[in-house]
Structure 1
Amino acid sequence: MRAAVQHRYGPPSVLHVAEIERPLPGRGDVLVKVAAASVHPGDYFVMTGKPYVLRLVFGLRRPRHGIPGRDLAGVVAAVGRDVTGVRLGEKVFGWSSAGTLAEYACVPADHLVPVPPSLSVLEAAAVPTSALTALQALRDVASVRPAQTVLVTGASGGVGSFAVQIAKAFGAEVTGVCSTRNVHLVRSLGADHVIDYTRTDFTGTEKRYDVILDNVEAQPLAAVRRALTPTGTLIPNSGHGGRWLGPLGRIVKARVLSGFTRQRLRPFTSVEKYQDLLTLADLLATGQVTPVIDRSYPLDEAADALRYVGAGHTRGKVVVTL
C-alpha cells in the first residue's frame, strides 16, 4: 500500500510517499481502507519533534511510528476474529495511534463509530481529535451550562470551529475571536458575538465571561484573567511555546495561580473516548455540529498539507484524501 512516511524528525520535506506492507488486523482490530485523514497542529509538532519534550513519548531519536496522522474515515475492509458489531463495507470514522496517512490502517474496534448518513467521509475525517478536544474542554472541564457566557479564541480554527458550535448546542451565549477575514465564518457557525482581534482586544473591554477557551494564548495569563468573571474558568489550549518544553511553562504557571484565586485555570489534555465519539456522531447527525473544511490535499501532497497546518491560521480542518 502507499503511505506518507518519515524516518527522522524535521520539516515537512522529511515526508515522502512510499510503498509499504499492508497491515494485518489483530484479534480486536478493524482494517480500514482509508478514504480521508485530517491533520492538525499536533501532527505537525510530532513530525518536527518540537518541542523536544514530545520525543519522550513519540521516540527520542526518530518517530516511533513512521506514518503521521491520527484521524481517519473510510470503509471497513476486514475485521479481527474478536470484533463484533462492525460490518464489512461499513463507513466509519475515528482515530488510530499507528498513523493514518496511508491507504489502509489497523484500528482498535473501540476507536471507530459509523459515519452519520448526513456526513461525507471527508467531513467525518475532520472530526475526531479537534472535536473531542472541544467537547471535553467545554463539557468536562468547564461544565458549560445554558445561558453561560463562553468566549472562544481561534474560533475559526480546527478546535475553535467545533467549540463555537458545541457551546451553542449546550445553550451558552458564545463569543468568537478571529481575524477580519473569518468574521463571517464564525458568525455562520452560530456565534452570538464575533470579535475581530485586529480591531479589538477582548482583554481590554469591560465584558466578563464565565468560560474562556483560549486556543491561541496570544495574551499573558494575567490579561486573559481580567476577562473572566470572579469564578470563571480559563482553559489554555495551545501547543505553542518554547522549543524544549513547549506550553509546559504556561501550564505550570496556570496550575500554580489557580491555587490562589477563585477563578479556575484548567489546562488539560484531551483523551480519546469511544463514548465521546458517539456523542459527537449524534451532534453531527442532528446538524448541531458541522465540520468546516479549509483545504484538502491528495496523499502525494501530504507534506504540503502539514506545511500549511504548521503555518497557522487554518479555517477549520485540513484533510488528506486517498
Structure 2
Amino acid sequence: MKAIVQTEYGSADVLRLEDVEKPVVPDNGVLVRVRAASVHAGDWHLMRGTPFLIRFIFGGLLKPKIKILGTDAAGRVEAVGKDATQFKPGDEVFGDLSECGFGAFAEYVCVPETALALKPANLTFEEAATVPVSALAALQGLRDVGQIQPGQKVSIVGASGGVGSFAVQIAKAYGAEVTGVCSTSKVEMVRAIGADHIIDYTQDDAIQKGQQYDLILDAAAYRSVFDYLPALTSRGTYVLVGGSTARLFLVMLFGSWISKISRRNVKFQASKPNQADLVILRDLIEAGKITPFIDRRYSLSEVPAAIRHLEQRQVRGKVSIAV
C-alpha cells in the first residue's frame, strides 16, 4: 500500500510517499481502507520532534518510532478480527488514532474497534475525517473542563481554527451566548458558523473592558493567561486548549496556583479519545448542529504541502487529505 513515511525528524521535507506492507488485522481490531484524513498541529510536532518532551512520550529520542503519521481518519471497514463485534466489512467509520499507533496517512490502517464510530451519514469521508481530534478537544474542553451551562457567556479565542471552529458550534449547541475572537480575514467565516458576537483582535482588544465571560476557551494562546483573568466572572473558568507551547506548559504546571491567587478557574485541557464522544459528535452533526469547515483539500501525496500550509497558522477550520 501507499503511505507517507517518516524516518527522521525535521521539516515536511522528511516525509516521503512510499510502498509499505499492508497491515494485518488483529483479533480485536479492524482493517480500515482509509478514504480521508486531516492534518493538525500534533502532526507537525511529531514530525519535527518538538517540543523535545514529545520524543520521550511517543518514543524515538533520536529517530521517530512512529513511521506513519496521521491521527484523524475516515474510511470503510475492509476486514474485522475474530474477536471484533462492533463493525462489519463495508461499514463507514471515523476515528481518532492517537492512542493506537497513528497511521492515517496511508491507504490502510489497523486499529482497535473502540477507536472508531460509524461515520455521520450526512458527511463525506473528507468532511468526517476533519472531525475527531479537533472536535473532541472542543467538546471535552467545553463540557468536561469548562463545565459549560445553557445561558452562559462564552468566548472562543481562535474561533476560526480547527478546535475553535468546532468549539463555537458546540457551545451554541449547549445553549451558550458565544463570542468568537479571530482576525479580519476570518470574521465572515466565524459569523457563518454561528457566533453571536465577533471580536476582530486586529482592530479591537479581545479583552474588552467591562465585558465578562463565564467561560473562555483559548485555542490560540497568543497572549498570557493573566490577560484574560479580568474578563472572567467571579466564578468564571479559563480553559487552554492549544497554541503557544510555552503558555501551554505554564498553565499545565501553574494553573492550580494561578487559580488560587486569582480566585478564578484556570485549567488545561488534554483530550482523551473515546468512542462515546465520537458518537455524541456524530449525533450533533447528523442533527445539523455541527458542520466541518474545510479550508483546503490535498491528496495523500501532498501531505507535506498540507502540513506546510498548516504551519503558517492561517488555516480557517480544517485541512483535509483525500486518500
Q: What TM-score, normalized by structure 2, do the two folds share?
A: 0.96
What CA distance in whole angstroms lies between the structure 2 residues aligned with 1:222 and 1:305? 34
The one-letter code matched in structure 1 to 2:161 is G
Aligned residue number for residue 203 of structure 2 = 199
Runs of 4+ residues over 6 Å off in structure 1: none
**Pairwise mapping of residues 134-283 of structure 1 onto structure 2 (< 5 A)?**
134-242=138-246, 247-283=248-284
> Could you tell which deviates more after superposition, 132-141 or 198-207?
198-207
1:117 aligns with 2:118: no
Q: Is the 8 A contact 1:202 1:227 kept in 2?
A: no
- 1:148-169: per-residue Cα shift (whole Å, max 9, x none)? 0000011010000000000000
Moved more, 213-222 or 247-256: 247-256
Question: The residue matched to 2:178 in structure 1 has which SS?
Answer: strand
Mapped partners of 1:241, 1:107: distance in 2: 29
**Take 2:48 and 2:163, find their aligned partners in 1: how far apart are those partners?**
21
Q: Secondary structure at the residue paired with 1:259?
A: helix
Which secondary structure state, in structure 1, belongs to the residue aligned with residue 261 of structure 2? Answer: coil
Other structure's SS at 1:94 match: strand
Shift of residue 239, structure 1, vs aligned partner: 4.3
Q: 1:102 aligned to 99, 102, 106, which one?
A: 106
Q: Answer whether contact 1:221 1:254 (CA < 8 A) is retained.
A: no
Letter matched to residue 22 of structure 2 = R
Q: Could you tell me whether the CA contact under 8 Å between 2:251 and 2:266 is conserved in 1?
A: no
Deviation, 1:249, is 2.9
* 1:81 aligned partner: 82
Aligned to 1:8: 8
Superimposed CA distance per residue, residues 66-110 of structure 1 (whole angstroms, 9 cap, x where no aligned partner): 001111000111110011131211111002232110000001101
Q: TM-score, normalised by structure 1?
A: 0.96
Secondary structure, in 3 states, of the residue corresponding to 2:271?
coil
Contact 1:152 1:212 (8 Å CA) reproduced: yes
Is the contact made by 1:112 and 1:274 (CA closer than 8 Å) also made in structure 2? Answer: yes
Indicate the SS of the match to 1:289. coil
1:54 maps to 54
Q: Distance in 1 between matches of 2:41 and 2:73?
A: 16
Segments of structure 1 that go 5 or more residues without pairing to the other structure are: none
The answer (yes or no) to whether the contact 1:42–1:239 under 8 Å persists in 2 is no
- Report the more deviating stretch, 172-181 or 257-266: 257-266
Shift of 1:205: 2.5
Q: Provide the rounded CA distance (Å) in 1 between the counterparts of 2:132 and 2:219.
A: 17
Cα distance in 1 for partners of 2:64, 2:209 equals: 45
Distance in 1, Cα, partners of 2:291 & 2:153: 22
Q: Please, which moves more after superposition, 64-73 or 213-222?
A: 213-222
1:93 corresponds in structure 2 to: 94
Which residue identity does 1:50 align to in structure 2? T
Q: Which ranges in structure 2 are unaligned for 5 or more consecutive residues?
A: none
Report the counterpart of residue 32 of structure 2 in structure 1. 32
**Identical columns (%):** 45
Amino acid at match of 1:211: L
How far the C-alpha of 1:61 sits from its partner, in A, is 1.5
